[in-house]
Amino acid sequence: MPSYKLTYFDIDGGRAEPIRIAFHAAGIAFEDNRISFAEFGEMRSTTRFNSVPVLEIDGAQVTQSNALSRYIGKMAGLYPDDDLQALYCDEVLGALEDLSNRIGRTFGLPEAELKPAREELVDGWMSTFLRGLDQLLIRGGGRYFADSQLTIADLRAFVQTRSLCSGILDYVPTDIVQRVSPGLFDHMERVNGDRRVVAYYRDRR
């Protein structure tokens, strides 16, 4: 069995969280290397694309969160075997990456610029993506995005919607998911109650 070391920020969320949950669901031991933002600043130049997450497999670096999610998701039975269902899963992962990038552009803005930037995002792209994701969920049958069961796409959506509802993002209303995409809000609660997700957060305590 290869050795795995996953490096990401010391937060319960973000791009690495679906990978952590998938590792746990698969029963695969890995080093959960959680770093501070200051530590990332010091090590940034040692990563291939100056970013995290980074997964080391027997010491060799691999990057790109969606690729890592698919890789571990396959081991955990959280990625479809059917090509069309895999495509549906990948579409969700790509849309969520686009949304994350839109949100990421607002980080570090001065306070005077942050409020209007976030309000514009909420009324524009964020609502567009939430409505689009709701449509993808309906296409999947209303409960999951693909394969009629939990996949890595559901985990990525769960992490993103939970963040939007948490109040951690200033000037993003905590009811935006429930208001704009009620099906996606119900999906968040459904995934939150999945035994594998429950077990992961229970063991995190």
Span 114-131, pLDDT tens digits: 999 999 999 999 999 999
pLDDT digits (tens, 9 = 90+) for 146-189: 999 999 999 999 999 999 999 999 999 999 999 999 999 999 99
pLDDT at res. 107: 94
pLDDT at 132 over 80: yes
Give the start-to-end residue ranges of the domains of the chain: 4-77, 83-194
| Ramachandran category for residue 29: left, alpha or beta (phi over 0 → left; psi -120 to 50 → alpha) | beta
CB 133 within 8 A of CB 186: no
CB 49 within 8 A of CB 63: yes
Q: Which long-range contacts (CB under 8 A, 24 or more apart) does 164-169 make?
A: 164/126, 168/13, 169/103, 169/118
Please state, rounded to an integer, the average pLDDT across all residues of the chain.
96
Confidence band (pLDDT; 50, 70, 90) for 1? confident
For domain 83-194, which architecture applies?
Up-down Bundle (1.20)
| pTM for the structure as a whole | 0.96
Amino acid letter, 114: L
Question: Would you state the structure tokens that stand for residue 99, as one six-digit string?
Answer: 């949304």
User: Of the CATH numbers 3.40.50.10680, 1.20.140.10, 3.10.129.10, 3.40.30.10, which one belongs to the domain with range 4-77?
Assistant: 3.40.30.10
Beta-carbon contacts of 193 under 8 Å, excluding residues fewer than 6 positions away, are none
With 90 as the cut, is the pLDDT of residue 204 above it?
A: no
| Type and span of the H or E element at 32 | strand 31-35
Distance CA 22, CA 200 (A): 9
**Cα distance between residue 203 and residue 205, in whole Å:** 5
Residue 205 CA to residue 73 CA, distance in Å, equals 23
Q: How far apart are CA 2 and CA 62, in angstroms?
A: 13
